[in-house]
């Protein structure tokens, strides 16, 4: 076993946990003087990562940038691979702020200055679903191959639990992130791990055989910490969080990164991950050609096609829509598609149709809302989406906002509202589910295409 791994009774860890160097003289200048904010973060889907176009993105990234912009500060990012490295950067005075999905813990709040809180998580024990029976009590964790990322809230919680379960042991590895450990559980290299529920929700989509065995605790706050001595930085983040701009930034972050992740469906996610290997490669060139012609992203077109047909070129519905993009006969004819069961024709036709729905929307609708409205139009029909946009205005809501429109579209099936619309009744709840599922599939497909 490598020397950086700890596999010892947790009672001994209690003696060692206070030995780490927690000194920080915050020797560098204040951002209030330099207008430069040094931020330690973690490379991961719940913190900061490089997106489809290789630009920085992520929940913590977006919030930090919004906060810094509100003060006119420039952000100097320090991107680390583990929570332990983030904590070390803050403790040694190499960063003003840590924004890495850190749980607010009493021990951390004694060392650092608590900043804003932007959410809650619960610690979850995660194992491979084939290793049943899974541990469902604290006592059941004794003897389990349990490995967690080092210098994390999980270590603190497991140390506490060990007071009642002396046989509880675990590996605390500061070099491996929660995402890496979850992957190793999925591939059978590790028995079980502990991770925040927000991380588990994201990662399970890629590794559907991961299963939550139990929750370790109640919900805990998640947010930022400032280095010791930078009290004013921490206060500034808390004041901004309470402001209208801060509330809007947190809401936008949650909408962008979490709102489309549905309740986990093992069968659905397992099927998607299998078809990424045995179906998607057969049609990837067609999706790329359609992307080149229309300008729509490959992963978006692939996700839409998966929602429509599960990448089955022979798919046929009882209502007569057919093919990998499930086109109606009139739509296919209008697009020059002669054979709806020909994958190349269907994919190109569906891409052209979505591009047309997108082009017909007002140009000043921001992305990604414009794309979501175009998808809704593809699914429900442009006329019904226009009805819903008019209804949104009547209700004092924003027809250019997907957050508002996903509340209004279902009203097209509500007898209190649809008689007022030009085109009448429609199953307006369907495009809401349609867009949510495509966003969810797109995340998984994007990762597969990047690997």
Task: Please write the tens of the pLDDT for every residue from 377-386.
Answer: 999 999 999 9
Residues designated catalytic: 308
Could you give the 3-state DSSP secondary structure of residue 284? Answer: helix
pLDDT tens digits, 289-324: 999 999 999 999 999 999 999 999 999 988 889 999
- The CA distance from 92 to 341, in Å, is 62
Structure token pair of residue 264: 């986990």
pLDDT tens digits, 324-333: 999 999 999 9
Averaged pLDDT, 51-65: 90
pLDDT tens digits, 164-191: 888 999 999 999 999 999 999 999 999 9
Q: So what's the pLDDT on residue 183? A: 96
Reply yes or no on whether the pLDDT at 23 is more than 50: no
Name the nearest CA neighbour of 374 among 390, 351, 358: 358
Which residues make Cβ contacts (< 8 Å) with residue 265, sequence separation at least 6? none
Percent of the chain clearing pLDDT 70 (strictly above): 94
Q: Which of 261-275, 289-303, 349-363, 428-442 has the lowest mean pLDDT?
A: 261-275
Tokens 């491979």, residue located: 128
Region at 35 (left for phi over 0; alpha for psi -120 to 50; beta for the rest): left
Region at 320 (left for phi over 0; alpha for psi -120 to 50; beta for the rest): left
- The CA distance from 111 to 227, in Å, is 8
Q: So what's the pLDDT on residue 22? A: 39
Q: So what's the pLDDT on residue 295? A: 97
Q: So what's the pLDDT on residue 302? A: 98
Q: How confident is the model at residue 262 (pLDDT cuts 50, 70, 90)?
A: confident
Reply yes or no on whether the pLDDT at 26 is more than 60: no
* Beta-bridge partners for 98: 40, 225
pLDDT tens digits, 100-116: 999 999 999 999 999 99
Structure token pair of residue 195: 């991770």
Q: Specify the pairing of strand 36-42 against strand 97-103.
A: parallel
Sign of the CA dihedral with 255 first, then 256, 260, and 261 last: negative
- Rg (alpha carbons) of the chain, rounded to whole number: 25
Reply yes or no on whether the pLDDT at 195 is more than 60: yes
Residue pair 226/22 in contact (Cβ under 8 Å)? The answer is no
Q: How far apart are the first and last CA of the chain?
A: 29
Write phi, then psi, for 118 (nearest 5 degrees).
Answer: -120, 5
- The CA distance from 137 to 125, in Å, is 10
How buried is residue 408: exposed, middle or buried, by Cβ count under 10 Å (0-12/13-18/19+)?
buried
Reply yes or no on whether the pLDDT at 11 is more than 90: no
Burial 370-395 (b: 16+ CB within 10 A, else e): bbbbbbbbbbbebebbbbbbebbeee
Q: Which of 12-16, 94-98, 357-361 has the lowest mean pLDDT?
A: 12-16
Higher pLDDT, 438 or 50: 438
pLDDT tens digits, 220-232: 999 999 999 999 9
Percent of the chain clearing pLDDT 90 (strictly above): 88
Q: How confident is the model at residue 255 (pLDDT cuts 50, 70, 90)?
A: very high
Averaged pLDDT, 149-155: 92
* Beta-bridge partners for 223: 102, 117
Q: So what's the pLDDT on residue 310? A: 97
Which residues make Cβ contacts (< 8 Å) with residue 74, sequence separation at least 6? 35, 36, 37, 68
Reply yes or no on whether the pLDDT at 12 is more than 60: no
Q: So what's the pLDDT on residue 166? A: 84
Q: So what's the pLDDT on residue 342? A: 97
Average pLDDT, the chain: 91
Which residues make Cβ contacts (< 8 Å) with residue 218, sequence separation at least 6? 122
Q: So what's the pLDDT on residue 55? A: 87
How buried is residue 14: exposed, middle or buried, by Cβ count under 10 Å (0-12/13-18/19+)?
middle
């Amino acid at each position: 076993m490598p020397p950086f791994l700890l596999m010892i009774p947790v009672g001994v860890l209690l003696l060692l946990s206070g030995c780490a160097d927690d000194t920080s003289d915050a020797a560098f200048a204040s951002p209030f003087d330099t207008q430069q904010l040094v931020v330690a973060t973690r490379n991961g889907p719940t913190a900061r990562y490089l997106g489809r176009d290789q630009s920085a993105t992520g929940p913590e990234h977006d919030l930090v940038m919004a906060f810094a912009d509100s003060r006119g500060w420039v952000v100097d990012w320090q991107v680390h691979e583990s929570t332990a490295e983030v904590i070390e950067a803050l403790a040694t005075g190499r960063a003003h702020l840590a924004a890495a999905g850190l749980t607010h813990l009493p021990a951390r709040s004694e060392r650092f200055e608590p900043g804003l809180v932007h959410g809650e998580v619960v610690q979850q024990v995660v194992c491979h679903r084939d290793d049943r029976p899974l541990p469902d009590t604290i006592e059941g964790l004794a003897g389990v191959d349990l490995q967690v990322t080092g210098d994390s809230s999980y270590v603190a919680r497991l140390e506490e639990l060990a007071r009642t379960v002396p046989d509880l042991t675990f590996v605390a590895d500061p070099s491996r992130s929660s995402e890496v450990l979850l992957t190793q559980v999925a591939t059978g290299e590790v028995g079980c791990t502990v991770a925040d529920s927000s991380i588990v929700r994201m990662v399970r989509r890629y590794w559907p055989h991961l299963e939550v065995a139990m929750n370790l605790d109640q919900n805990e706050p998640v947010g930022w910490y400032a280095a010791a001595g930078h009290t004013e930085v921490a206060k500034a983040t808390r004041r901004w969080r309470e402001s209208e701009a801060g509330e809007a930034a947190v809401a936008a972050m949650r909408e962008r990164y979490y709102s489309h992740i549905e309740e986990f469906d093992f069968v659905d996610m397992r099927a998607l991950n299998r078809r990424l290997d045995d179906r998607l490669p057969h049609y990837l060139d067609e999706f790329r050609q359609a992307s080149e012609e229309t300008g729509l992203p490959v992963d978006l077109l692939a996700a839409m096609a998966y929602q429509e047909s599960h990448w089955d070129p022979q798919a046929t519905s009882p209502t007569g829509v057919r093919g990998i993009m499930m086109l109606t006969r009139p739509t296919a004819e209008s697009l020059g598609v002669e054979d709806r069961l020909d994958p190349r024709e269907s994919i190109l036709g569906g891409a052209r149709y979505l591009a047309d729905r997108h082009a017909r929307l007002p140009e000043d609708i921001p992305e990604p809302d414009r794309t979501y409205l175009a998808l809704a139009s593809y699914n429900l029909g442009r006329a019904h989406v226009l009805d819903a946009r008019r209804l949104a205005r009547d209700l004092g809501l924003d027809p250019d906002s997907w957050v508002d429109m996903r509340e209004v579209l279902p009203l097209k099936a509500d007898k209190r509202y649809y008689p007022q619309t030009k085109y009448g009744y429609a199953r307006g709840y369907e495009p809401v589910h349609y867009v949510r599922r495509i966003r969810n599939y797109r995340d998984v497909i994007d990762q597969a295409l990047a690997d």
